[in-house]
Amino acid sequence: MTPTVPSRAPPHQNDIPPIENVPLRIQVADRLRKAILSGKLPLGSSLVEATLADQLNVSRAPIREAIQILENDGLVETIAYKGKRVKPLTIREVGEAYSLREIYEVMAVKRILESRIPVDLLHQHCDQMTAAAKADDFEALTAADEAFHHELIRLADHSLLMASWKNLYLRIHQIMAIRNREQRNLTQVAKNHPPIVHALEANDANLAIELITDHTRILAALDPTSIVKEF
C-alpha cells in the first residue's frame, strides 16, 4: 500500500495570517490609546462615553470598558463629580520617565553586547523611520520609532525589563509625540537611530552605550513646563 503523504498548502498560502477575534473593548481601547499617545486626545480632555460611542459607532458599554483599561494603564483618571479625562502629565512624571528610560535602554544595550545576538531587525525599523521621514508621515515614524525601541528591549532577553519598559513607554511615547509635533524634524529623529545599530554590530561597547545614553537624554533637553499645563 502506498503511504499517504499529507497535503501541504502552497508556500504563498502560509503567509496569510489568521482572522483574529479581538473583543470590541480591546479594539476600542487600542483606538483610544493611540489617540491619547499621539495627542489627538489632548492631555486633560474629557472622555464622554456618549460622544465617543457616536464617533466610533459602538454602544457605550465597550467604551466604558475600554476607558477602564486605559485607567489601569495610567493614561486616564477619574475626577470627582466631573468624570473621566486624559490624565495630564506632571513635571515630576516627565523627569522620572526620561531618567528611568535611560537606565532601561543602557541595560538592554549592555546585555545585547554581552550576548552578541544579531540585531538585523533594528535595521528594518531604521529603514521604516527613514521612509516615513521622507514622506513626512508623523504617525508612521512614531510607530517605527516605538518598534525600534521595543525590539532593542526584546533583544536584551529580560522578561522583567520588558514588562517594566512597556508600562514606562506609554508615557515616553506620549511625551515624545507632544515634543515631536511641536518640534517637527522627522529627518533628524530617523537619523538618530542607525549609528546605534552600527555600534552594536561592531560590538563597540563604549560607543553603543554613549549613543543610547545621548539618545535617551534627548528628553532631558525638553523643558517639562512646555508640555505640562494646569487643568
pLDDT given at position 218: 73
Is 7's pLDDT higher than 80? no
Residue at grid coordinates 462615553: 49
Is 10's pLDDT higher than 80? no
Question: Stretch 46-73: mean pLDDT, rounded?
Answer: 95
What is the chain's mean pLDDT, rounded?
Answer: 86
Give the angle subtended at the CA of 123 by the CAs of 117 and 128, to the nearest 5°. Answer: 145
User: pTM here?
Assistant: 0.75
Please spell the DSSP secondary structure of 37-86, one letter per residue: HHTSS-TT-B--HHHHHHHHTS-HHHHHHHHHHHHHHTSEEEETTTEEEE
Give backbone dihedrals phi and psi of 77, rounded to 5 degrees, phi first: -135, 160
pLDDT given at position 84: 96
Give the type of residue at 196: I
The three cell numbers of residue 222 are 525638553
Q: Which residue has the higher pLDDT, 73 or 209?
A: 209
pLDDT in tens, 188-199: 889 999 999 999
Give the type of residue at 107: M
pLDDT range class, residue 227, cuts 50, 70, 90:
low
With a CB cutoff of 8 Å and minimum separation 6, the contacts of 128 are: 140, 143, 144, 147
Beta carbons of 186 and 141 less than 8 angstroms apart: yes
Is 12's pLDDT higher than 60? no
pLDDT range class, residue 94, cuts 50, 70, 90:
confident
Give the type of residue at 187: T
Question: What residue spans in the chain does CATH classification 1.10.10.10 cover?
Answer: 22-86
Beta carbons of 86 and 75 less than 8 angstroms apart: yes
Q: What is the CATH number of domain 93-224?
A: 1.20.120.530
The three cell numbers of residue 119 are 540585531
Question: What residue spans in the chain does CATH classification 1.20.120.530 cover?
Answer: 93-224
Question: Max Cα separation, the chain?
Answer: 81
Q: Which residue has the higher pLDDT, 16 or 165?
A: 165
The three cell numbers of residue 129 are 523611520
Q: What is the CATH T-level fold of the domain 22-86, as seen in this structure? A: Arc Repressor Mutant, subunit A (1.10.10)
Beta carbons of 105 and 214 less than 8 angstroms apart: no
Q: What share of the chain is helix, strand, coil (3-state, %, to 5)?
A: 70, 5, 30
pLDDT given at position 202: 96
pLDDT given at position 30: 93
